[in-house]
Structure 1
Amino acid sequence: MTTTTALGCQYRPQHHYTADRNWLNDPNGLLYANGTYHLFYQHNPSGTVWGNMSWGHATSPDLLHWDEQPVAIACDEQEAIFSGSAVLDRDNTSGFGTPDNPPLVAIYTSAYSLASPLAGRQAQSLAYSTDGGTTWTKYVGNPVADRGSADFRDPKVFWYDGAAGSYWVMVAVEAVDREVVLYKSADLKAWEYLSTFGPANATGGVWECPDLFDLPVDGDAGNTQWVLVVNLNPGGIAGGSGGQYFLGTFDGVAFTSETTVTEGLQEDDSRMPEYGWLDWGRDYYAAVSFSNAPDGRRRMIGWMNNWQYGAGTPTSGWRSAMSLVRDVSLATRGNRVVLVQAAVDPFDGGAPVYSDAGTTLEPGTHWLPAEASGDVLRIDAEIEPREARTVGLLLRAGGAEQTVLSYEPGTGVLSLDRTASGNTGFHETFASVESVAVPLEDGRLRLRIFLDRCSVEVFAQDGLATITDQVFPEEASTSLAVFAEGGPATLVSLDVVR
């Protein structure tokens, strides 16, 4: 479980990381080293709204149980510490460590203040640790990459080893220009420009927090594709913040997209559903992957909030959580390659507290017994809509409150409706309905749903599509129901795990 205190316990999640106190946003410096996962993040050590940007720090042995550590890299009068990444410099290319004790190196954006000679610029800087991430020292030669730009930020660095050579690659953004810019380095200190990608596909907001990695398709190591992740705000598919991805090739110099639908800055958003989206909800942003994850896995985590209303969410003493960590892979679905996601499961191995199978759902709402209720649950459901016009589940229900997950087989659309989910009045854009097209497979819809006090994360058809939304219901709103409208359906299976 995440660190918790008595502060704001009504909404503080059990299985999602939150800072003990104060504000957090983008995950940064995601790294696995010496048996420990490191989660750094944008953090205000002094308040519950954005400001004083520093790198907070938490560690975990398993991505489920997190221990908050002291602030890792603090802002000062010269610079705020914006988003970035971290690597284990195994060969000590930087010279910050020794061959026997290779350093951890953080690559972050220096957002220079008025007190700095570089006031108004954003440039990339280094900090290093030789004690496993406990203490960090800023490099005296900072910044190491400076374009003289006010919007050059969010470096993601990885080691490339291919036909073009072996070197570090930095993937960053010129945010306002909606461009991903790539650089290379032998030592993390001196960087040489490689190429630029974009604008393309979703360009309704600034581009931020990029990532670039390759994955096997359908588990075939001989058939890989590169994935370029670009987060943007606003302009997400559900409104406000969101994350998109492109599939293609990377030759060590340039990324070439094979899934670009539109190029350049677009004013017409009619093609938005055709783009690759990391998540179709409102609350999954700045998602990036862990460096050096064991067993060759690609694991991602995102900020579970939205810049439209993030500063107003009704928590006390703390604000914002991270999503569950997700294993991501590439799979062929419907004759095309797509990114699929599976949550690192905090309920793994738990026995269901309630199960049902093979039940005919006559039209109406079917409330589950008390043992199936709760505010922290995993719900696995498989439904065959048959003649029903709409099928689905009522989540976190009580009184007039309910969050509705529904599916219409006629349109093939899965929707999450939080308009009556509880406290929605803190911002005019919060009450919303999120939707995604999800085809039935063998006439059935498979759902895995994680509830955790203030959030709903939905994984449909084994991670083909996900919807992540915050909700803020009363503590007593814990009931669960299944429903069918317009005709009977079959509840093929249902398991509720607490």
Structure 2
Amino acid sequence: MNSVTSTLETYRPAMHYAAKDTWLNDPNGLVFHEGIYHLYYQNNPFGNVHSNMSWGHATSTDLVSWKEQPVAIPCDDAEEIYSGSIVVDTANSSGFGVDGKAPLVAIYTSAYKPGSPHEGTQAQSIAWSTDGGYTWTKYAGNPVLTRNSPEFRDPKVFRYNGPAGSYWVMAAVEAHAFTVLLYRSEDLKKWEYLSTFGPANGTGGIWECPDLFELPLNDDAAAMKWVLTVNMNPGGPNGGSAGQYFVGEFDGVTFSSETTLTEGMQDPERVPDYQWLDWGRDYYAAVSFSNVPDGRRLMIGWMNNWQYANHIPTSPWRSPMSLVRDVSLVSVNGQPRLVQQPVPEVRAASIFTAPLQRVTVNGQVPVEGGTAVQLIDITITPGSAEEVGLVVRGSANGTVGTRIGIRPGNGELIVDRTRSGDTRFHEAFPSSSRAPIAAGQDGSYTLQIFVDHCSVEVFANGGLVTVTELIFPDRTQTSLVLYSTGGTADAALQLTNIGKKEA
């Protein structure tokens, strides 16, 4: 690698997926099939800014190491290929299967270009694959569902089996109406309207990329709940793009939320009370994988924010994905809440774990072993401190870096990247994100912090709170410093270096 290439690749993630030399955004078509996880995504095959939307493709056997594949579904003169999903059509209801082999069917949004018969509209189309998801054939009868709308998009399709019957269900959005529309189909070609959900809770920006899935509450298979996620841009709790979720019931026709706080348009005063998928500024368009064994619900998001997405200082690639997350549902103070934890496969890729360190913090305490890529497990007991935390990817004296702190008096988790490195590329980037956090029964706070070349992902209190942020530090910024203000605190931390083999 020459020095020019090395400089350009300073921020390429070690733990996260990024395309080799092009742009990516929303994850699409997430599916597990025949032992392989398939990650499709919005991709510009011809450059590193948002344009020429097509479906890029990567594969993995372990959710950690991803191999980039050729573009799966390219744009053409008639349409760009916007977000969508993939199902394994086990019963061959679509009729696309051959020789007894179940097809994969992609359901995506056709964003029709000038000169197309559907010019100016977004509608839902399908394509199929019989070689395991590597080559795709578009259906001649596309689009299969249209509302003659310019903003009808992002179909997430799943197989419903319940009291109402067995059929395919699609969740899509009317983006500017802040609504999720549900449809049903027997064959993935003909669709019948079921119901509409929304507007509700966060409506500070357009709705995109919905998902609807079932989870057991507190691991109790007799207490199943439905979760509706929907991403929103802008209007997130800390600015710009974000995702929210609702928990309730789905009877095969209508989704009914039991966690809605605001019917209709949002109440600005209640935005901090809504249920957010992530409180950081760089976790968007998150959707879950289909067909995953053992009932696991796995989710991944785009690690960027539309406020500055086209401007982040990476080249020739632009934008990474988040870590894959295991998603579950627990009861907190009588209310259902999502828990998101990094898949254990990430920790299994560890190459070295240092001994546990116990430290009393009063001011600043440098910690040996800080690196550019690592997992930090830390338990913080605040004591008398007004704020306590750590500065990662920083200078030895802690004046430069990304500050991750707890303010127990305010019940806040803070991730401050205003001095994280290169913040000058866009005025919206330097920022401090805040998330509500409660101490455990013993008064402590637990954090898992995944530090990579261009990001931090914080999983607090077992994944009840997550904060995801891009950072762009100088390659020499690898120091780790504990700090407290206004008093003393105790911390127990363990550092793990994460490796990743080539896929």
TM-score by length of 1: 0.96
Map 1:389-408 → 2, pairs under 5 A: 389-398=386-395, 400-408=399-407
Distance 1:374 1:13 in 2: 13
Distance 1:25 1:340 in 2: 24
AA aligned opposite 1:39: L
1:63 matched to which residue of 2? 63
Distance 1:73 1:337 in 2: 38
1:42 matched to which residue of 2? 42
Are residue 412 (structure 1) and residue 411 (structure 2) matched? yes
AA aligned opposite 2:175: A
1:200 matched to which residue of 2? 200
Q: Deviations over 1:268-294 (max 9, x none)?
A: 411011111000000000000000111
Deviation at 1:398, TM superposition (A): 1.9
Distance 2:405 2:379 in 1: 13
2:18 matched to which residue of 1? 18
Other structure's SS at 2:462 match: coil
Q: Deviations over 1:107-127 (max 9, x none)?
A: 000000002011000000000
Query: What's the RMSD between the two structures over aligned residues?
Result: 1.3
2:373 matched to which residue of 1? 376
Distance 1:174 1:66 in 2: 33
Other structure's SS at 2:469 match: strand
Other structure's SS at 2:148 match: coil
Other structure's SS at 1:272 match: helix
Deviation at 1:201, TM superposition (A): 0.2
1:354 matched to which residue of 2? 354
Deviation at 1:484, TM superposition (A): 1.7
Other structure's SS at 1:473 match: coil
Distance 2:264 2:486 in 1: 44
1:438 matched to which residue of 2? 437
AA aligned opposite 2:151: D
Map 1:68-87 → 2, pairs under 5 A: 68-87=68-87
Gaps of at least 5 residues in structure 2 are 499-503
Map 1:110-125 → 2, pairs under 5 A: 110-125=110-125
Map 1:326-345 → 2, pairs under 5 A: 326-345=325-344
1:294 matched to which residue of 2? 293
Q: Deviations over 1:78-122 (max 9, x none)?
A: 000000000100000000013720100000000000020110000
1:136 matched to which residue of 2? 136
1:184 matched to which residue of 2? 184
Deviation at 1:220, TM superposition (A): 0.5
Other structure's SS at 2:294 match: helix
2:211 matched to which residue of 1? 211
Distance 1:146 1:245 in 2: 26
Are residue 233 (structure 1) and residue 230 (structure 2) matched? no
CA contact (8 A) 1:7 1:317 kept: no
TM-score by length of 2: 0.95
More displaced 10-residue stretch of structure 1: 151-160 or 8-17? 8-17
% of aligned pairs identical? 57
AA aligned opposite 1:378: L
Distance 1:359 1:148 in 2: 62
More displaced 10-residue stretch of structure 1: 390-399 or 232-241? 390-399
CA contact (8 A) 2:122 2:148 kept: yes
CA contact (8 A) 1:94 1:187 kept: yes
CA contact (8 A) 1:225 1:247 kept: yes
Distance 1:353 1:494 in 2: 7
Distance 1:497 1:19 in 2: 23
More displaced 10-residue stretch of structure 1: 91-100 or 176-185? 91-100
Distance 1:52 1:125 in 2: 17
Other structure's SS at 1:319 match: coil
Deviation at 1:6, TM superposition (A): 5.7
2:501 matched to which residue of 1? none
Q: Deviations over 1:202-260 (max 9, x none)?
A: 00110000000010011100001100000010111111100000000000000000000
AA aligned opposite 1:50: H
AA aligned opposite 2:8: G
Deviation at 1:358, TM superposition (A): 3.8
Distance 1:450 1:220 in 2: 30
Deviation at 1:29, TM superposition (A): 0.2
Are residue 324 (structure 1) and residue 287 (structure 2) matched? no
Other structure's SS at 1:276 match: coil
AA aligned opposite 2:365: H
CA contact (8 A) 1:7 1:316 kept: no
AA aligned opposite 2:443: G
Other structure's SS at 2:143 match: coil
Distance 2:297 2:47 in 1: 33
1:9 matched to which residue of 2? 9
Other structure's SS at 1:283 match: coil
CA contact (8 A) 2:121 2:151 kept: yes
CA contact (8 A) 2:353 2:494 kept: no
Runs of 4+ in 1 over 6 A off after TM superposition: none
1:282 matched to which residue of 2? 281
Distance 2:169 2:483 in 1: 50
Q: Deviations over 1:361-415 (max 9, x none)?
A: 2x2110012xx12110000000111111111001100275210001111111010
Distance 1:225 1:99 in 2: 38
Map 1:254-265 → 2, pairs under 5 A: 254-265=254-265
Q: Structure 1 pair 335/357, CA: closer, same or farther in 2 (3 Å)?
A: farther
Are residue 453 (structure 1) and residue 453 (structure 2) matched? yes
1:91 matched to which residue of 2? 91
Distance 2:331 2:353 in 1: 34
Deviation at 1:489, TM superposition (A): 1.2
AA aligned opposite 1:8: L
Distance 2:38 2:328 in 1: 21
Distance 2:353 2:62 in 1: 24
CA contact (8 A) 2:374 2:495 kept: no
Distance 1:233 1:479 in 2: 34
Other structure's SS at 1:280 match: coil
Other structure's SS at 1:176 match: helix
Distance 1:421 1:24 in 2: 24
Distance 1:356 1:255 in 2: 46
Deviation at 1:496, TM superposition (A): 3.8
More displaced 10-residue stretch of structure 1: 93-102 or 320-329? 93-102
